[in-house]
Amino acid sequence: MNSETFAICEQIVSTAYVRQGVQARRTHEQLIRLLLEKGKCPEEGWEESTIELFLHELAVMDSNNFLGNCGVGEREGRVASGMVGRRHYRLIHGIGRSGDIAAVQPKAAGSSLLNKLTNSVTLDILKLAGVRMVSSCFVVPMATGMSLTLCFLTLRHKRPKAKCIIWPRIDQKSCFKSMITAGFEPVVIENILEGDELRTDLQAVEAKIQELGADNVLCVHSTTSCFAPRVPDRVEELAQICAKYDIPHIVNNAYGVQSSKCMHLIQQGARVGRIDAFVQSLDKNFMVPVGGAIIAGFDESFIHEISKMYPGRASASSSLDVLITLLSLGINGYKQLLKERKDMYVYLANELKKLAEAHEETLLETPHNPISLDAKASSLRSKSTVDATTFLGPQKYLNCVCLCRVVPRGSVQTVNGYTFKGFMSHASDYPCAYLNAASAIGIKKQDVDLFIKRLDKCLKTLKKEAVNVSQGTETENLNSQNDVDVEELCEI
Amino acid sequence: MNSETFAICEQIVSTAYVRQGVQARRTHEQLIRLLLEKGKCPEEGWEESTIELFLHELAVMDSNNFLGNCGVGEREGRVASGMVGRRHYRLIHGIGRSGDIAAVQPKAAGSSLLNKLTNSVTLDILKLAGVRMVSSCFVVPMATGMSLTLCFLTLRHKRPKAKCIIWPRIDQKSCFKSMITAGFEPVVIENILEGDELRTDLQAVEAKIQELGADNVLCVHSTTSCFAPRVPDRVEELAQICAKYDIPHIVNNAYGVQSSKCMHLIQQGARVGRIDAFVQSLDKNFMVPVGGAIIAGFDESFIHEISKMYPGRASASSSLDVLITLLSLGINGYKQLLKERKDMYVYLANELKKLAEAHEETLLETPHNPISLDAKASSLRSKSTVDATTFLGPQKYLNCVCLCRVVPRGSVQTVNGYTFKGFMSHASDYPCAYLNAASAIGIKKQDVDLFIKRLDKCLKTLKKEAVNVSQGTETENLNSQNDVDVEELCEI
Amino acid sequence: MNSETFAICEQIVSTAYVRQGVQARRTHEQLIRLLLEKGKCPEEGWEESTIELFLHELAVMDSNNFLGNCGVGEREGRVASGMVGRRHYRLIHGIGRSGDIAAVQPKAAGSSLLNKLTNSVTLDILKLAGVRMVSSCFVVPMATGMSLTLCFLTLRHKRPKAKCIIWPRIDQKSCFKSMITAGFEPVVIENILEGDELRTDLQAVEAKIQELGADNVLCVHSTTSCFAPRVPDRVEELAQICAKYDIPHIVNNAYGVQSSKCMHLIQQGARVGRIDAFVQSLDKNFMVPVGGAIIAGFDESFIHEISKMYPGRASASSSLDVLITLLSLGINGYKQLLKERKDMYVYLANELKKLAEAHEETLLETPHNPISLDAKASSLRSKSTVDATTFLGPQKYLNCVCLCRVVPRGSVQTVNGYTFKGFMSHASDYPCAYLNAASAIGIKKQDVDLFIKRLDKCLKTLKKEAVNVSQGTETENLNSQNDVDVEELCEI
Amino acid sequence: MNSETFAICEQIVSTAYVRQGVQARRTHEQLIRLLLEKGKCPEEGWEESTIELFLHELAVMDSNNFLGNCGVGEREGRVASGMVGRRHYRLIHGIGRSGDIAAVQPKAAGSSLLNKLTNSVTLDILKLAGVRMVSSCFVVPMATGMSLTLCFLTLRHKRPKAKCIIWPRIDQKSCFKSMITAGFEPVVIENILEGDELRTDLQAVEAKIQELGADNVLCVHSTTSCFAPRVPDRVEELAQICAKYDIPHIVNNAYGVQSSKCMHLIQQGARVGRIDAFVQSLDKNFMVPVGGAIIAGFDESFIHEISKMYPGRASASSSLDVLITLLSLGINGYKQLLKERKDMYVYLANELKKLAEAHEETLLETPHNPISLDAKASSLRSKSTVDATTFLGPQKYLNCVCLCRVVPRGSVQTVNGYTFKGFMSHASDYPCAYLNAASAIGIKKQDVDLFIKRLDKCLKTLKKEAVNVSQGTETENLNSQNDVDVEELCEI
């Protein structure tokens, strides 16, 4: 409504009441104006009513919602199902143009604003989360892995000779496959064991560069967020090596936005050395549905080159999710979530330590990993009497019930033709089996408490089981995942 | 958004695209402006996006959505559940004030607009539907029966001596109870049989008025829409009698808005005689959920008196439903629904006639009833060999499966101490049992076709059954409603 | 889905995952089963996903959502607008039958369950909130005032001779009108001043009964929740008087469910004397939209008589709102809200006291009012130099900005022919003007803080103004409500 | 609910009504069972209530909606914003696993079912639409161009030597960039003019293969749907060439599903020659929001290889949209849309022909293009007097207002270093400028009528303008897009 319509309203209900209403409306509009003006995440989260009002305003600016529209093109933003239209707030046109995923679209001012604002607001959040020097970013509706692929494909055009990517090992399939899919050969650098921690072998990296020749290396592909006992890569030093040899550096920061340590590593890397782009998952850092990522960097023109590599218009769904989420949280809400996560990490560490001690196990010492923790699992360790099959039961058991990971020793896996010894443990021969838990964004105290309770019960069961096994007793129940009674455990 | 915000938008995406968007927005705003200005139902139905935009605009004008609100009153429009807030589009304040259900509220400009507009738009529709002289109406979130009660309670203050209401019989509990609840004695005037039709006995009405004395009569309470073979009351003549004796006249027009004949009767009654108010159901005429009514009349001050009788603020839910519905249909959409209903009445009549003939039954001749129809049901008629209990089965059977009504002969029912012989048939002794079907708004050809198919199957089954019964065979299956296999029948 | 469909699912995704899913589903179903079995509000609130699942399940049981439906009746639950259907979760049939608002409906098992469960869950809450002896209640989609009217109309049939209702004065229009609308003469009993409090004059009540004759009195109509300095009626003693004279007793408990004191009064009244029904607002006690009430009592058959007085089916909207709200809050959530309200009452009292003292005013001592508070307002008191018109400005000013009430001395108002001296202050001549604030359910600390800040600013402005006025300066600005700049104040 | 809960329901409302309700529910469940069992699009579209019930059922099977969940992993499907959760029907886990976008996920049985069913239902639709031999497909939440890239990246692993892709020219940026992004060199084959049509130059293709050597060619990349006067490639003959030289063949079928001719070409190609994969847009064929594609083929193992190339889990949003849409349309609804599109193509052709003749222009003869049409545009042709800048105005003018495309002669554009003469016209030197319009799925008669009206007005304006231009008159108004008054034109 506008001043003209309000004047009419005053003739229907009293002037005074309408004026109050108009002033009330202005409080919402004021928020919207500020967002558009600053392009930053608001301090305080918005009410749902303001967010919905804003999205409605955007939607009516798109041509598919233009009431006098006549469509004789090949794509007109028509939607067959009302359910579908509504769930996208009638923002149908997606983001970007065939030439550039970050570009504005002629027929869709609303969707274009959504795209630009989302990129602007997420940039603001990346800065706040610790990478103060970041200069450009864009949201892409693809998995972190696929987004890394897009970065590598972009680099190919700059380094046509390069065939391989140097990659300090991390046992996670997507990031490994991101290199394979892009058509490059991953050169795996094994981590070195320092105390309980697995850390980047900087000397091996540099040696490998010299061996291969810098021109033959597309980039170094490092990782921040990871499961303990692996810890974030020595990003700062890797960035310096990259600068020294003039090799691009892409950082997989999958769920690192939630950790000030991970973000600090990237900030430092960019300050003292070279980082071309860093990629983070939307769902893991912003509590939105799976499927989007942010590609960010320090050189606007390079980030723009990446955005121009996406052929076609992309789904606005991930952008919409993250924008709604950040508007509803506000900076304060997001900071609060980060704080809670950190607090819960400490709490989880303490509780896990107590439990481990009660079961005569120890917590691995991994001070450099700000998110995840491990308890040694001797009771789970494969003894001569407990063969691999036997072990499978408890592992799945814990995975599914407690939603944590049990990592055995010595499992071997082949991914796209590459064989990994000790897969899942980030090392060919990590000294022990262990159980991994993480304090990720959104975690609550009751999650930790329930986990500790269940784990306690599990460990007791498993020990009894282990005794039985060593005595030759049947363990069928635990081996068969189908028999895991989730419900029973949840009633703990 | 406003011109200021759009200017900012132009700096984010291109000026040209934003201007297109603003123009697109204006097409929606133009519709809203027209609605506010004219207070009439739009010719063409609105898109959902326009309706939602409009409701959002209304909602932000209400104080509970005022972002700087601080509530220290006893009712602040706070909503505990987000689901509840959303389903009411955050219009929480209801309609009216303690003094008057049609009044505007200080804290709720949006809800007040909703209330005023709904009453204005429904008034427009009542005129279009045939009561051109109607001058005032309001939507009330109460059943038709309870709304009639409110009318009677209002009349009490004008006619303190009156104790009884003259009421041409119609066998529907709510309208009978509406008089009881209001504390009056219904004086039932039996209908007279003309051909197959049951019509108002005007002489009996006039005789009764003379017998009781006009001052002792609160009002005449007549009915338009009803099940055949009863036909709409002779409203015109009743209105003349009311004028003659200076007795108020309240018309129960429950589902009569959908019928031009019923509406014409009211228009004529008001033109040549006296009608004080006529009451219609929202759900039966406008395809909204159950629970609201429109109280309308020709004397604005009397209708206002009624609206002032409702003690307290009322739910806006019914108003919201009917406003959304009429905006989405538009006049053209509503007219189309009325036309289809009329067409389907003719189609249903023809199909029912064919079926009746095939089963050697006849259709009752009830040309004055524009909505419902009856097929004689000799096969269902209570013969000496088929006792009441036996009959119960098929009746329920048809009621539940075909969603039509079977009306037996001679059932007796006592309602609030009043005994009705031949209850359901609107007469003490209607000559035959029959089956009733109606063509109500929203009916589709497939409804009729499916009904005819099922009825055919039913009648065949029942005839066989009847034979069995007369031969002493067990009929338990049909007697027990629990055994009706709805699904099986639906697969016809 | 059912076991058969799950078996098919297992062929699509793995058996183990489906079984987990089935077990996950069972956790939701378990909650639903418990609700149905116990008919009580769950301890812990439900997730929205469980509530939605439940409502979907109810909806598919209603005949309008029966896919093989063929409708040839006069009302088929058809809905013209998808928006409307969705917002009611496709529960279209309303509640009750023409004979009884609490009855089940043949075509609508889902809506009938909704109705029964809502009444059962609210009964549970009334017990928990303090009226342990309550035996029956039902939700009605009408304002508290209209619901009181329904109670009075029901009593009329039991006491045909009675013409008047004894009513200890409370200055709120709806409850006064509830008696007028029902056609009875209110006999107003003025309150007596005890300290700062206005309390029930028991002797006057008893004297009036004797004067009128018990048979001529329809009932005593008492009130619990009210604005200070009036305090809740002496319900216990009134109940004893009613028992003594065999007169029905209806309690207006408008927003009393949120106060353990109000509920305790009712419980005690029923224990030691006579209470026939007590009526409470849904929106004021359960944070739902305006328009519903609960009618409750201790004699199931009398409450049933009231429910049978509603002529017609009623809207399910209020029932749906309160059920959703209570399921989402759970008992713990509701108790938490009650606790916060109580805490905020104490906080508000302290803050208001401090402010009053700073402005050299005092807080009225009203220990018997558990919800609302008053600060004397000498600065607002009408002096000879400040005429009524002048006063109007500040009053509206405060009402609209602070959402609190300023009560002047000596205003006179005529409602339905009855003249009230000192209207709004519950007494003909309360000794001072005052400002009233309440701590109602849902209030937050920030509401209180903001209110205190604004009030402080207001009082300062008004004092300055008063000085000006007494000096003959123009006060136009404050007189004209149109000039109140809400926004400016909200920026405090 | 299940049989146990229904038994409880029977104690609350009557047994008979609950049984009816259960049977009603079964009608919905029956549909769901059939879908799961057959994995095919239902004949008749589902009601929204059935679709919502189904999605709720899926959602509760995902672990994030598991009420007893305790999350200590790094991603738990937590959602910060309720708005976001709801709009995804709480299906948060995305689709696929790090290893394979088509794989099932341990924590998400519901999302996995969604993924599998969507792929299965879309496969069914591809068959129905004409590619009867298609054996496998999957939905991917990426643009058609990016999906083509993924196909090329997959082929790289099979043909490590190949560096280039043979591509009959089509002037659309995304499909060109899809090859660039994948790191290959597009070898552009110019089309040949046959009559007014631009058709595949088969001899040039074969010659180029021989010239380059088959091993050096990654694949032939052909196109079906395109703007006239280019017509679909000779897919059948290309498939034969590919088979002959053992070269993979990828078909860009962007908006070809809606055209039986395009689908027939693919079916024939696969029958007589070689097609490895064909890729189609979701939004252009199924009226869903932008951003998804279907990758389909005839060899299940190759399609599976592609799906395994996507590194990471992907957004389920596109899958959800297309599944909802197809369930709501049903086969009959989708066929109806296809039929309407075809009818409107004929209607548009006739209307355009009439208009062209009225303006002394002609329609280009492009019988092989089943979707789009061109009117020659002599009045728009660049004459010596009308320079490029001048032309820009009308072009944009028409583009934006009529949502159609004006294609000038001789524009030159460089994309990723490749220069295209006559860009937009699919040929270096198409003989004339023309205006293009299409009949795409979802088009309505009123779209065509409005387009024709506006075009008529446009052409008249432009002619007048052209006269002015040739006379040296100022044309600023038309040159500046900012001055285009969309609203005014829409009021035609």
A396 belongs to a structural domain: yes
* D446/B contact by beta carbon, under 8 A: no
Query: What pLDDT does B402 receive?
Result: 53
* Residue B97 assigned to a binding site: yes
Choose the final residue of a domain: B313, B330, B347: B330
Q: Are residues A124 and A240 in the same domain?
A: yes
A208 belongs to a structural domain: yes
Q: Enumerate residues 6+ apart whose C-beta is below 8 A from B434.
A: B229, B364, B374, B375, B376, B377, B406, B407
The closest alpha carbon to B439, from B366, B330, B362, belongs to: B366
Residue C486 has pLDDT above 60, yes or no: no
Q: Are residues B296 and B368 in the same domain?
A: no
Q: Are residues A353 and A282 in the same domain?
A: no
CA distances from C374 to C363, C413, C421, C447 (A): 6, 22, 20, 17
Q: What is the mean pLDDT of chain C?
A: 87
Q: Enumerate residues 6+ apart whose C-beta is below 8 A from D460.
A: none
Mark yes or no for CB contact D66/C32 under 8 Å: no
Mark yes or no for CB contact D27/B481 under 8 Å: no
Mark yes or no for CB contact C12/D90 under 8 Å: no
Q: Are residues C362 and C396 in the same domain?
A: yes
Q: For the residues of C212-236, what is the DSSP string, one character each?
A: H-GGGEEEEEEE-S--TTB----HH
Q: Are residues B321 and B339 in the same domain?
A: no
Q: Bridge partners of A136? A: A297
* ipTM for the complex shown: 0.92
C249 belongs to a structural domain: yes
- In angstroms, the separation between the Cα of residue A372 and the nearest Cα of chain C is 26
Q: Other CB atoms closer than 10 Å to residue C449's CB: what's the count?
A: 14
Q: Domain residues for B429?
A: 335-490
C412 belongs to a structural domain: yes
Burial pattern A431-463, b for ≥16 Cβ within 10 A else e, equals ebbbbbbbbbbbbeeebbebbbbbbeebbeebe
The closest alpha carbon to A239, from A259, A264, A216, A260, belongs to: A264
Query: What pLDDT does D466 receive?
Result: 59
Q: Bridge partners of D375? A: D363, D435
B358: phi then psi, degrees, rounded to nearest 5: -60, -30
Angle B216-B220-B226 (CA atoms, 0-180°, nearest 5)? 150
CA distances from B186 to A430, B162, B179, B208, D440 (A): 92, 12, 6, 12, 65
Query: What pLDDT does D215 receive?
Result: 96
Query: What pLDDT does B488 receive?
Result: 41
From first to last of its 492 residues, chain A has per-residue pLDDT tens of 788 888 899 988 888 888 888 888 888 899 999 999 999 999 999 999 899 999 999 998 887 777 767 777 766 788 999 999 999 999 999 999 877 888 888 778 999 999 999 999 999 999 999 999 999 999 999 999 999 999 999 999 999 999 999 999 999 999 999 999 999 999 999 999 999 999 999 999 999 999 999 999 999 999 999 999 999 999 999 999 999 999 999 999 999 999 999 999 999 999 999 999 999 999 999 999 999 999 999 999 999 999 999 999 999 999 999 999 999 999 999 999 999 999 999 999 999 999 988 888 889 999 999 999 888 876 554 433 333 333 334 555 554 455 567 788 878 999 999 999 999 899 999 998 888 889 999 999 988 998 888 888 877 776 666 555 555 543 333 333 333 333 343 333
Q: Are residues C62 and C117 in the same domain?
A: no
Mark yes or no for CB contact D172/A348 under 8 Å: no
Choose the final residue of a domain: B278, B308, B330: B330
CA distance linking residue A395 with residue A406, whole number of Å: 5
Mark yes or no for CB contact D486/B26 under 8 Å: no
B151 belongs to a structural domain: yes
Residue ranges of B 257-286 with Cβ closer than 8 A to chain C:
281, 283-284, 286
- The tokens describing B26, both together, are 């204006």
Q: Bridge partners of B223? A: B252
Query: What pLDDT does C132 receive?
Result: 97
Query: What pLDDT does D407 receive?
Result: 83
In chain D (492 residues long), the average pLDDT of successive 10-residue segments reads: 85 87 87 95 94 92 77 78 95 89 87 96 98 98 97 97 97 95 98 96 98 98 95 98 98 96 98 98 96 97 97 96 98 97 95 89 91 76 37 47 69 91 92 88 91 82 63 41 37 37
Count: domains in chain B: 3
* Residue A87 assigned to a binding site: no
User: Residue D383 is part of a domain; what is its CATH number?
Assistant: 3.90.1150.10
Q: Are residues D372 and D247 in the same domain?
A: no
3-state SS, residue B263: helix
User: Residue A213 is part of a domain; what is its CATH number?
Assistant: 3.40.640.10
Residue ranges of D 149-178 with Cβ closer than 8 A to chain A:
149-150, 153, 156-157, 172-178
* Residue C75 assigned to a binding site: yes
CA distances from A71 to A96, A106, D301, D352, D395 (A): 20, 14, 40, 14, 16
Q: What is the mean pLDDT of chain B?
A: 87
Which strands sit side by side in the sheet containing C434-438, from one edge to the other?
Answer: C372-376, C434-438, C405-407
* B14/A contact by beta carbon, under 8 A: yes
Mark yes or no for CB contact D172/A98 under 8 Å: yes
Q: Are residues D179 and D293 in the same domain?
A: yes
Q: Enumerate residues 6+ apart whose C-beta is below 8 A from A14.
A: B104
D346 belongs to a structural domain: yes
Q: Give the tens place of pLDDT for each residue, C260-301.
A: 999 999 999 999 999 999 999 999 999 999 999 999 999 999
Query: What pLDDT does C379 receive?
Result: 54
The closest alpha carbon to A141, from A370, A270, A320, belongs to: A320
**Residues on chain B touching A22 (C-beta within 8 angstroms):** 61
Q: Give the tens place of pLDDT for each residue, B89-140.
A: 999 999 998 778 988 887 789 999 999 999 999 999 999 999 999 999 999 9
C55 → chain D, closest CA residue: D53
What pTM, to 2 d.p., does this model score? Answer: 0.92
B459 belongs to a structural domain: yes
Q: Which residues of chain B have pLDDT under 70?
A: 68, 74-75, 378-404, 462-463, 465-492
B485 belongs to a structural domain: yes
Mark yes or no for CB contact D487/B20 under 8 Å: no
Q: Are residues B317 and B359 in the same domain?
A: no
- In angstroms, the separation between the Cα of residue A56 and the nearest Cα of chain C is 16
* C49/A contact by beta carbon, under 8 A: no
Where on the phi/psi map is residue B476: left (φ > 0), alpha (ψ -120 to 50), or beta? alpha
B179: phi then psi, degrees, rounded to nearest 5: -80, -40
Choose the final residue of a domain: C94, C121, C154: C94
Q: Rounded to 10 degrees, what is the CA torsion of A95, A101, A106, A107? A: -20
Mark yes or no for CB contact D142/A312 under 8 Å: yes
Q: Are residues B246 and B394 in the same domain?
A: no
Query: What pLDDT does D23 receive?
Result: 84
Average pLDDT of span C464-484: 46
User: Residue A83 is part of a domain; what is its CATH number?
Assistant: 1.10.10.2160
Q: Are residues D131 and D208 in the same domain?
A: yes
Q: Are residues A307 and A377 in the same domain?
A: no
CA distance linking residue B470 with residue B448, whole number of Å: 32
- In angstroms, the separation between the Cα of residue D429 and the nearest Cα of chain A is 23
Q: Give the tens place of pLDDT for each residue, B198-257.
A: 999 999 999 999 999 999 999 999 999 999 999 999 999 999 999 999 999 999 999 999
CA distance linking residue D233 with residue C87, whole number of Å: 49
CA distance linking residue B144 with residue B251, whole number of Å: 11
Residue ranges of B 368-427 with Cβ closer than 8 A to chain C:
371-372, 399-400, 402-405, 415
Q: Give the tens place of pLDDT for each residue, C40-95.
A: 999 999 999 899 999 999 998 887 777 767 777 766 788 999 999 999 999 999 99
